[in-house]
Amino acid sequence: MNTSANSMSNNLVIEVRKVHKSFKTVQAVRGIDLHIPQGQFVALLGPNGAGKTTLVEMIEGIQQPDKGDIFIMGKTWKGNEDYLRRIIGLSLQETHFIDKLSVWETLRLFASFFAIGKERCEEVLQLIALEEKRRAWVVNLSGGQRQRLAIGISLLNKPNILLLDEPTTGLDPNARREIWAILRKLKEQSQTSLILTTHYMEEAEQLCDYIVILDHGKILKEGTLTALLGEIQDLPLKPVETRRTTLDDLFISLTGRHLNE
């Protein structure tokens, strides 16, 4: 692939080109391009059914695109699975772990898949602030604690690329802020690139350098927060003056619907 050398020279860790994916009756992803450089935090923002999960799972090598190419660190999934699995960390939408295994046992189990030892598990346990839940069974954790465990597992191998599918959906504001804190710390301490999907505009605004707004399998708009909010001024439908303009206003002006429907 001559193009792979090209993308590495641009310092892109993820490159998605004209990717399509359909299920029986639904075109879930319809021609998406993404270019993500090292260290960038990217939000895929869109309502339910926008195609976020399908897109990230194709990047994760769990689903195959019908059309288009995906390069990760300049490599395709085909023939590089062993290598890519080691440098990627991920958390799926709504995964359940083994109910009657403790937090510590779950971390050790997943660490063993990467041949990673105890020390790293201790580090991760501290990072996700679950030390006092070390011996608790997964089934007895709160939603927020479970989600933190899922993120902890995704970080075990110190991934170059982290993909989180709706990490805070269904959590209360406190639990959500705890997860944001973990991800902020990660940004300070590492060069990890992040793709996270969400339908909460605050999450995209607060956490991410670059925001991609998806709907019906297509990119509606993408850019930095400032650039996107700047666009609202040029749109015919203006938000009420007294309130801060948000990404939701942008989404409404583009589609006539709220993000969070």
Ligand X SMILES: Nc1ncnc2c1ncn2[C@@H]1O[C@H](COP(=O)(O)OP(=O)(O)O)[C@@H](O)[C@H]1O
Check binding of 181 to another protein (CB under 8 A).
no
Member of 53, 91, 160, 198 binding ligand X (CB under 6 A):
53
Note whether 104 binds another protein by CB under 8 A.
no
Q: Which of 7, 52, 229, 247 binds ligand X (CB under 6 A)?
A: 52
**Residue whose pair of structure tokens reads 């465990």 in the numeric block:** 149
92 binds, among Mg ion, another protein, ligand X, none (CB under 5 to 8 A by kind): another protein
**CA–CA separation, 149 vs 237, rounded Å?**
42
- Say how many residues touch Mg ion, by CB under 5 A: 2
Of 11 and 260, nearer to ligand X (C-beta) is: 260
Alpha helices (H) along 142-200: 143-155, 173-189
**Contacting Mg ion (CB under 5 A), which of 40, 53, 145, 246?**
53
Cβ atoms 27, 180 nearer than 8 A: no
Of residues 112-171, those binding another protein (CB under 8 A): 112-118, 137
Sign for the pseudo-dihedral over CA of 223, 224, 225, 231: negative
Which residues in the chain belong to E strands, given as ranges?
12-22, 27-37, 41-45, 67-72, 88-91, 161-165, 193-198, 210-215, 218-223
Give the H/E segment covering residue 227: helix 225-232
b/e code 31-70 from CB counts within 10 Å (16+ = b): ebebbbeeebbbbbbbbeebbbbbbbbbbbbebebeebeb
Piece in contact with another protein (CB under 8 A), picked from 43-51, 67-75, 93-101, 204-212: 93-101
Using CB under 8 A, which residues numbered 37 to 76 contact another protein? 60-63
Using rule CB under 6 A, residue 50 touches ligand X: yes
Binding another protein (rule: CB under 8 A), the pick from 6, 18, 49, 98 is 98
Q: How far is the CB of 113 from another protein (least distance, A)?
A: 4
Cα–Cα distance, 56 to 240 (Å, whole number): 35
Q: Is 26 in the site for ligand X (CB under 6 A)?
A: yes
Residues that bind another protein (CB under 8 A): 60-63, 82, 85-86, 88, 90, 92, 94-101, 105, 108-118, 137
Residues that bind Mg ion (CB under 5 A): 53, 93
